[in-house]
Amino acid sequence: MADRIPASDPGLLVMISLAAGPRHGHAIMLDVAAFAGVRLGPGTLYGAISRLEADGLLAPLAMEGRRRPYRLTDAGLADLQRRLDLLDPLLATARQRVPAR
Amino acid sequence: MRPLLRLYPRAWLDRYGEELDDLLDATRATPSTALDLARGALTAHLRAAASRGRSLVTGGSPMSFEWPQRHTTSIALLALVITAPTLIILSLYAAAALIGSPDFSATLNGALADWSRFRILDLFLIAAPTVAVVLSGLSMLTGSIGISDGALRLFFVVRPRVFPVAVLLVALALTAFWVGHLGADFLAGRP
């Protein structure tokens, strides 16, 4: 029985985490574990961060010690909104077809 | 866990290495973490190669993984060190033959006769030039694994440099000598 969100899109999870405000890598990891029950490995997390940064969806802030916070860019926020919009009809259809308990 | 960071591309490490290193301090070291880092490093290499748009196949996919040869001189030096005993001994024999000194030849033969009791040393002296040929050749080899037309393909490129080529030629000459010498012994029926 699945009780977790599939971690098939770490980038989406990172963007959802950053939608609440700037966070550094470790804080993102803890946040994603808290809201999705998914433990992102360090390689997976920084793979997603580097990809999102290269795509201009998140931006680095000034280093805080050895940690660097990231924030969603406007493009990142728009991309996240678009992704959620794509999920809406999927969820709506699923809720129609699956009887409520 | 930190040695795994060295698997990442240098440019990637320059940008994210410190942060990732800090994150590793806060992360439990487990086999799955190690696997995750290794997978992340491979992905970073693939992305770096793709962003460079390098593909050795015209019209092929830019998805390729390249291994640059960063240790050409070190590997060629290792090849030289491995083959040095054979080179020195054969050079001494050549010098003895050129000088034509019976005493020198007798001394050399006496010394080598002691060593020849150890079969492994003989085998090493014979095999070393071949190993050096392989090493010095590999030191100049770069390559990539790429996906082209849906198939996984290997590409190799040789980038010649003076020192490795010199070592390769010396090792080839020594290998040729052994092949000729041992071949002549074999044909003559000598053990």
- List, for residues B69-79, the tens digit of each pLDDT value: 667 788 888 99
Residue A56 touches partner B, C-beta closer than 8 Å = no
**Chain B residues 169-188 with CB within 8 Å of chain A:** none
Residue ranges, chain B, pLDDT below 50: 54-62
Contact B19 A50 (CB under 8 A): no
Do residues B56 and B146 lie in contact, with contact meaning Cβ atoms separated by under 8 Å?
yes
Residue A60 touches partner B, C-beta closer than 8 Å = no
Which pLDDT score, from 0 to 100, does residue B177 have? 87
Beta bridge pairs of residue A71: A59
Nearest CA in chain A to B31: A41
Task: Give B22's contacts in chain A (Cβ within 8 Å).
Answer: 25-26, 65-67
Do residues B61 and B147 lie in contact, with contact meaning Cβ atoms separated by under 8 Å?
yes
Which pLDDT score, from 0 to 100, does residue B117 have? 66
Which pLDDT score, from 0 to 100, does residue A30 have? 95
Task: Give A45's contacts in chain B (Cβ within 8 Å).
Answer: 23
H-only helix segments in chain A? 10-18, 25-36, 42-54, 74-97
Residue B22 touches partner A, C-beta closer than 8 Å = yes
pLDDT (tens digit per residue) in B129-149 = 999 999 888 888 776 666 555
Token digits for B14?
Answer: 């320059």
* CA dist A28 → A20, A58, B1, B34 (Å): 10, 13, 21, 19
Contacts of A54 (CB under 8 A, 6+ apart): B47, B51
Pairwise CA distance, residues B129 & B125, whole Å: 8
Residue ranges, chain A, pLDDT below 70: 1-8, 101
* CA dist B88 → B84, B99, B148, B170, B183 (Å): 6, 16, 48, 12, 22
- Looking at beta carbons, which pairs linking A83-89 to residues 24 or more positions away fall under 8 Å? A83/A12, A83/A15
Residue of B22, B24, B33, B46 to mutate for A, most A C-beta atoms under 10 A:
B22
Pairwise CA distance, residues A30 & A13, whole Å: 11
Residue A12 touches partner B, C-beta closer than 8 Å = no
Which pLDDT score, from 0 to 100, does residue B57 have? 42
